Amino acid sequence: MFRLASKRIGALLLSSRECLPGRLITMPYLIHCECGEPLEVTATQAGSTVTCRCGKVVDVPMMSVLRRSAGESAMPLNIVEQINGMVKRGELPTNDLCPISQRRPDLTVYLDVRCEQSYADRRAQLEESDHYIIPYFLFGWIFAVFYTLLRYALVKSKTPSELERHGHDVSVKVPLAISSTEKETFTKTRSQARLKQWLESTPIYVKLLEEYPQARVTTYGA
């Protein structure tokens, strides 16, 4: 039964290699039988059971326990955290062919993917200043008008860095394997369509762009 399960898992992993251009395969987790035999399990087996070679049925822990045992966060990470973790562990890049020339890559380059960017909303602060007009009507028109104009001038004079910012800055540095003969082409490219097309040679980057379709991509250091 164990051999049959192993064959099925092996076939599943083989089919994933054939279907995914970047061959992004889920890392197996390691558990142990009472006899000491190490057993590899996948995320889909969390909470189920597997049979050891010795014949004993071994309970597979829940996913949070498996993740902690592998040094990962107990809760699933967002896509940016996943990529940063994979880069730190040396699991990226995964593309087997240069996305520019379709040749074997021999150089790792980096792209900066700015997923979200905070912004200064000057209009909101001007509208906020208008709310102060009503109380000051009680103290006279001249004072109300003078205060409103003064506040308007102060808000308009502020630089973007001085204004209250909304949203978050979210960016990630991603590696990509290319042919060294295409380094100049890579460095000079500014087209968002082409840069994103090259990123799509790696499945995890496809997920990143799906989650942040408005992301802006630049070659690192450009």
Domain identity same for 70 and 129:
no
Partnered with residue 221 across adjacent β-strands are none
**pLDDT at residue 101 greater than cutoff 70:** yes
Token pair for 92: 């990226």
Tell me the mean pLDDT in the region 202-213. 93
SS (H, E, C) 84-137: HHHHHCCCCCCCCCCCCCCCCCCEEEEEEEEEECCEECHHHHHHHHHCCHHHHH
The model's pLDDT over 2-14, given as tens digits with 9 standing for 90+, comes to 343 443 444 444 3
As a whole number of angstroms, the distance between CA 60 and CA 62 comes to: 7
Of 40-49, 61-70, 164-173, 209-218, which one has max mean pLDDT? 209-218
Any domain includes 152: yes
Any domain includes 188: no
As a whole number of angstroms, the distance between CA 185 and CA 79 comes to: 28
Tokens 């279907």, residue located: 19
More confident residue, 161 or 104: 104
Range of the domain at 131: 119-165
Instruction: Check residue 65 and give its pLDDT.
Output: 85
Domain count, the chain: 2
Region of poorest pLDDT, from 34-43, 44-53, 62-71, 113-122: 113-122
At 20, the pLDDT band (50, 70, 90 cuts) reads: very low
Any domain includes 219: no
Any domain includes 108: no
Any domain includes 49: yes
Any domain includes 159: yes
Any domain includes 59: yes
User: Which string of DSSP letters, residue by residue, matches the chain?
Assistant: -HHHHHHHHHHHHHHHHHH-TT---PPPEEEE-TTS-EEEE-GGGTTSEEE-TTS-EEEPPPHHHHHHHTT--SSPPPHHHHHHHHHHTT-----SS-TTT-SPP-EEEEEEEEEE--EE-HHHHHHHHHTTHHHHHTT-HHHHHHHHHHHHHHHHHS-TTTSPEES--EEEEEEEEE-GGGHHHHHH---HHHHHHHHTTSHHHHHHHHH-TT-EEEETT-
Tell me the mean pLDDT in the region 157-166. 58
Tell me the mean pLDDT in the region 190-210. 95
Any domain includes 184: no
More confident residue, 117 or 184: 184
Amino acid sitting at position 165: R
